[in-house]
Amino acid sequence: MERLCSSPLHENISAALDKHLESIHVVQARRKDEIVNASSRQRHGPPRCQDERVVLALAVALRALCLATRKVRTALWCAFQMTLPK
């Protein structure tokens, strides 16, 4: 989009994209922790409290991803509107 309007876009747009990518990486890490915890639980029995912490951490990460997705969609819509011919 920057090439279309031949000038750099607002810094908030790139910040929103960076935050969205960071949120994706956090969700992937939390999901990986959940998978590791689930596989170790099958071998050693159910440590219930630790299991709940892992699931809550995943839920928090998903909420942050949801918020970041909304912001990046808005930012990309604004960037698109700025690149349209007048």
pLDDT in tens, 55-80: 899 999 999 999 999 999 999 999 88
pLDDT band at 22; cut points 50, 70, 90: very high
- Structure tokens, 32: 């990986």
24: domain range?
10-83
Domain tally for the chain?
1
pLDDT at 68: 98
In a domain, 2, yes or no: no
Burial 28-63 (b: 16+ CB within 10 A, else e): eebeebeeeeeeeeeeeeeeeeeeeebeeebeebee
Q: Looking at the predicted structure, is the pLDDT value of residue 24 above 60?
A: yes
- Structure tokens, 35: 């998978």
pLDDT at 51: 72
Global pTM value? 0.80
- 85 burial (CB, 10 Å; 0-12 / 13-18 / 19+) is exposed
In a domain, 4, yes or no: no
